Chains A and B, each alone.
Chain A
């Protein structure tokens, strides 16, 4: 059956368009109106609005979600058992509002900004603050993140695991700024001597959190059929991911 193309603005009539104090603001007779409507139609299908709406899903968070997620990141050993995610009909993780283990982008973004501000504060307390420090911290953190994304994405691809989308991977790897913020905060409050125990605790907890989250991707193959055997390579890849997190958190806090 042939698809009948209708204009998305076919339902518009002059009476339904908005007016301002009785004056017609948009007149359908005007050729400029048609130009504007065509431009809007072009934008609605453009890459930017697709990107925006896919980004929108990851910000659909609530207060309780954020609190539970922060608990998951800082004390993951309390939550035993498999971390089941409910998938929606597309096979993608459901929206964070309904699904505790779904990734979101609000926490990584906020913790990234907090981390940069706390690094600036820390350098201000030790006496050598300059506005460049904020820029240097930001760009070096982003470079580390990109480097790690490359390694993790490449590892998942070559091990033939279920591939996450790039935004999901950015979300999972971006969660590492939460332990960075916690470490920086503790070292500001309690002094420099407390740095090593706090660093070890938070980075190991985060490594556990990320390995358990990535089990969702390594547990399935990208083939159509299920493979029954437990793959040693994939398990050791999870360990590698964990150790990588500890290394990166160390380097991020080094400045």
Chain B
């Protein structure tokens, strides 16, 4: 696995730090990988399949367009640093974890009731918070926290809408 660049230890550490809201070491963020997000997206698609929705194409297309949009906005807004597309997609993929958990719950229940709505809102907020804190660390953004969380929140909200309805 070393030759492929997949580092299971890093993936596990990042996953645990997302689940427990711990602050992620900057060294981990410096080493972007696509294996973790790829795994999450596959699990996401698989869980949606279990719930009866076949949306692989939409997830892929929407993910690509959204990532490019966020990459553009982030580079425009950050004054001192830059970020490349690979790292953006990697971070957005890692922060997808709460939505994967939501879709796991969605195999067993429908979200039309108030409890379901609350779960949806909570998981979108959780994903947005994770992605925003990762980007803030990487890009050294000051006073722009809510400004980047807004487009990321929109992206995850649309993703969730895709998954739920």
Contact = CB atoms under 8 A, between A and B. Distances in A.
Contacts of B76: 55-56, 59
B interface SS class: helix
A63 B151 contact: no
Contacts of A64: 143
Question: Looking at chain B, what size class is its interface with the partner chain?
Answer: 10 to 19
B143 A63 contact: yes
B12 interface: no
Contact of B77 (A59, A113, A114, A117): A59
A81 to B, nearest CB: 26
A61 interface: yes
Interface string B143-162: 11111001100100010000
Nearest to A129: B165
A98 to B, nearest CB: 12
Contacts of A66: 146-147
B137 interface: no
A60 B79 CA distance: 7
Contact of B146 (A55, A59, A63, A113): A63
Question: Looking at chain A, what size class is its interface with the partner chain?
Answer: 10 to 19
A146 interface: no
A16 interface: no
Nearest to A109: B73
A113 B154 contact: yes
A33 B9 CA distance: 36
Given A63-B144, A106-B147, A110-B150, 5 more contacts: A63-B147, A66-B146, A113-B151, A114-B154, A117-B154
24 contacts: A55-B76, A56-B76, A56-B79, A59-B73, A59-B76, A59-B77, A61-B77, A62-B142, A62-B143, A62-B144, A62-B147, A63-B143, A63-B146, A63-B147, A64-B143, A66-B147, A106-B73, A106-B77, A106-B147, A110-B150, A110-B151, A113-B151, A114-B154, A117-B154
Interface of A: 55-56, 59-64, 66, 106, 109-110, 113-114, 117
